[in-house]
Amino acid sequence: MKMKSLNVFGIILLVVVAFSFAVGDAYTQRRRGLNRMPRYDKSTEVTLKGTVERVESHTGKMGWNGTHFVVRFASETLSVHVGPSAYVAQQGFVFTPGDEIEVTGSRISFEGSEVLIAQKIRKGESLLPLRDEQGFPVWSRGRWRY
């Protein structure tokens, strides 16, 4: 009787351990998916002048709204990732199609497309700072690099 209960206990323990690994792995993969955001890369920094064609608001996986532009530069059109819409509005900036802007940012490939992650945007004489010199968002106080 004692041997049989040890075998049952061993099987239950094995099932619990296997289940724990499966749940942990699924949770880790889910968290990676939630954090899948483009990263600023200082080595790919460029400054481009262009015209805003579209202003878009995207809702991120974490629930916040982000402002993106579609900008026509001299020889191409790129999506520009600006930052949280609330931060842009708090800084007193409004962008509309037709605005002439100068964007300094990191040009990277994200989800199969070339995009520009803005570090700062100049519109006329006004400057919208978005990231510090290391590429950390100013709205996050240096906690995240996205």
Domain CATH for 106: 2.40.50.140
Domain count, the chain: 2
100 and 110 in contact (C-beta within 8 Å)? no
Asked whether residue 103 is assigned to any structural domain, the reply reads yes
Same domain, 55 and 118: yes
Same domain, 49 and 28: no
Gyration radius of the chain over CA positions = 23
Same domain, 30 and 52: no
pLDDT for 32 equals 42
Same domain, 98 and 126: yes
Hey, which bits of the chain come out as E strands? 45-59, 65-73, 77-84, 100-110, 113-123, 126-129
Burial class of residue 143 in the structure, from the number of CB atoms within 10 Å of its CB (0-12 exposed, 13-18 middle, 19+ buried): exposed
Same domain, 24 and 68: no
**Confidence band for 15, pLDDT divided at 50, 70 and 90:** low
Asked whether residue 119 is assigned to any structural domain, the reply reads yes
Same domain, 87 and 124: yes
Same domain, 29 and 79: no
102 and 54 in contact (C-beta within 8 Å)? no
pLDDT for 140 equals 79
**Euclidean distance between CA atoms 96 and 89, whole angstroms:** 13
Same domain, 62 and 128: yes
Q: Which residue has the higher pLDDT, 62 or 21?
A: 62
Same domain, 115 and 57: yes
Asked whether residue 145 is assigned to any structural domain, the reply reads no
Which domain range does residue 118 map to? 42-140
Same domain, 52 and 76: yes
Same domain, 84 and 105: yes
pTM as predicted: 0.71
pLDDT digits (tens, 9 = 90+) for 49-108: 999 999 999 887 777 789 999 999 998 999 999 999 999 999 999 999 999 999 999 999
